[in-house]
Structure 1
Amino acid sequence: MPGGVRTVARVRISHVVWDWNGTLLDDNNAVLAAVNAVCVEFGRADLTWPEWQAVYARPMRVSYEQILQRALDDEEWARVDKLYHERYDALLHTCGLATGVPDELRLWGESGRTQSLLSMWFHARLTPTIDQFGLTQYFSRVDGLVGDVGGGSKAESLIRHLEAQSLDPADVVLIGDVVDDANAAAAAGTQCILVTTGAMTRTALETTGLPVTNSVTEALRLIES
């Protein structure tokens, strides 16, 4: 189908697992500023958004090793992660919700189906932020990263997230903005729809062979079609 968009193979979807950063939250400007805070600290020139998208990968350490052109040991990676999140947190107040949010979340819930949120952002920061945006009411469960250093894959977290809710993966679709979401969905046995609103280019997302859409609204319409 033109543009890389195709319908979801199964229409019996009763639950959506949402990604947060870059999917429901429009935080690209804060992300780039935080990445460039790391660049400054390590003596590297600032990146543009397309340059960051070109190197984005998980685990995140791989991305930073590419832009800094050096291997990072565990201590250095912890420093990078800390620098990034300090700058990101300072700019979080400038971020808004993605187009279609919260209306689409409300409509999905009113249809009698359920939804939850799984993020690889720190849980202690995630939950109050979602609450500040008035979104907590829409989710049956919210899970973020537990730990001090981020940047890992979502696969194991998604499996635990589904098990905690006794969800059948066949009835679930994960909606996210990066290839790691696709990989996590494959590992957990769920379907997946990707949106072009976040950290990866459409070209990169289309390599997964999964549906790729331009917005949360378009993603949900695929499920309903």
Structure 2
Amino acid sequence: MGDSAKAHIVWDWNGTLLNDNHAVLEGVNSICRFYRREEVDLDYWRSVFSRPLQACYERLLERPLTEEDWARVETLYHGAYNELLHTCALAVDAEQVLTDWRAAGNSQSLLSMWFHDPLTEMIARLGLVDFFSRVDGLVGPMGGGSKAEHLARHLAEGELDPASVVLVGDVVDDARAAESVGAGCVLVTTGMTARPVLEATGHPVADSLADAVALAVKSRS
């Protein structure tokens, strides 16, 4: 990265800047209950979570999911998740890390696979809008795919050089998305993926956002 003033971090939201693990798990278990599958704990979900999401849920439920099933899964998950959204808070060091990164003359943006409208509403409510040069969430009725094409569009529309970018996220798909565009990646253990799974990607792994930023700078220097 060389000149730190030209460094840019693309932040993930859920499980990275936002501590929403309990809401995610309730969403997953609402699906388990509907399909009469035993509920799971966070450690188990972290060990099996992957994208694309439909394949992940098919493994969880041990059955193929039709288009109708997948629509039901989405409805169940987001219904349960949204009921707990008001209890979700920023990661412990999130605001300080965002503040310090900006104060150092660096830029940052936000790319999430959560739906765009509730994402931007929550960011505004938390007073975070001014930290980001760009905020992009999922546009469309259903999610579950890879972040790769969304990251490519995010960088292109933000006129960002992938060589100066590090994506900070919490799942393997974040690493694959970064690789697909030639950006760096640091993964955090605070979200939906177990450390051994993250380490297997070959990318740096951090236990806090502050450590992630330090690794981001080091990885592109």
TM-based fold match above 0.5: yes
Whole-Å separation in 2 of the counterparts to 1:132 and 1:145: 19
1:111 counterpart letter in structure 2? A
- Give the aligned partner of residue 22 of structure 2: 29
TM-score by length of 1: 0.93
2:57 counterpart letter in structure 1? Y
SS of residue in 2 equivalent to 1:102: helix
Residues 166 and 78 (structure 1), Cα distance of their counterparts in 2 relative to 1, 3 Å cut: same
Whole-Å separation in 1 of the counterparts to 2:62 and 2:162: 39
Question: Is 1:207 equivalent to 2:209 in the alignment?
Answer: no
Deviation at 1:11, TM superposition (A): 4.3
SS of residue in 2 equivalent to 1:140: coil
Deviation at 1:209, TM superposition (A): 0.5
- Give the aligned partner of residue 181 of structure 1: 174
1:54 counterpart letter in structure 2? S
Deviation at 1:223, TM superposition (A): 3.4
Mapping for residues 30-69 of structure 1, pairs under 5 Å: 30-69=23-62
SS of residue in 2 equivalent to 1:82: helix
Whole-Å separation in 2 of the counterparts to 1:130 and 1:212: 25
Deviation at 1:224, TM superposition (A): 4.1
Mapping for residues 87-126 of structure 1, pairs under 5 Å: 87-126=80-119
- Give the aligned partner of residue 69 of structure 2: 76
Unaligned 5+ segments in structure 1 are 1-9
Deviation at 1:170, TM superposition (A): 0.1
1:120 counterpart letter in structure 2? M
Question: Is 1:86 equivalent to 2:98 in the alignment?
Answer: no
Deviation at 1:78, TM superposition (A): 1.1
Whole-Å separation in 1 of the counterparts to 2:125 and 2:11: 17
Whole-Å separation in 1 of the counterparts to 2:106 and 2:160: 12
Q: Is the 8 Å Cα contact of residues 8 and 166 (structure 2) preserved in structure 1?
A: yes
Whole-Å separation in 1 of the counterparts to 2:117 and 2:87: 19
Deviation string for 1:95-131 (max 9, x for gaps)?
Answer: 1111211011011111111000000000011100111
Residues 124 and 87 (structure 1), Cα distance of their counterparts in 2 relative to 1, 3 Å cut: same
Mapping for residues 187-198 of structure 1, pairs under 5 Å: 187-198=180-191
Residues 183 and 224 (structure 1), Cα distance of their counterparts in 2 relative to 1, 3 Å cut: closer
Q: Is the 8 Å Cα contact of residues 12 and 171 (structure 1) preserved in structure 2?
A: no
CA RMSD of aligned residues (A): 1.0
1:168 counterpart (151, 161, 168): 161
1:15 counterpart letter in structure 2? H
TM-score by length of 2: 0.95
Q: Is the 8 Å Cα contact of residues 185 and 216 (structure 2) preserved in structure 1?
A: no
1:149 counterpart (136, 142, 145): 142
1:180 counterpart letter in structure 2? D
- Give the aligned partner of residue 11 of structure 2: 18
Identity %: 53
Deviation at 1:54, TM superposition (A): 1.7
1:165 counterpart letter in structure 2? G
Question: Is 1:159 equivalent to 2:152 in the alignment?
Answer: yes
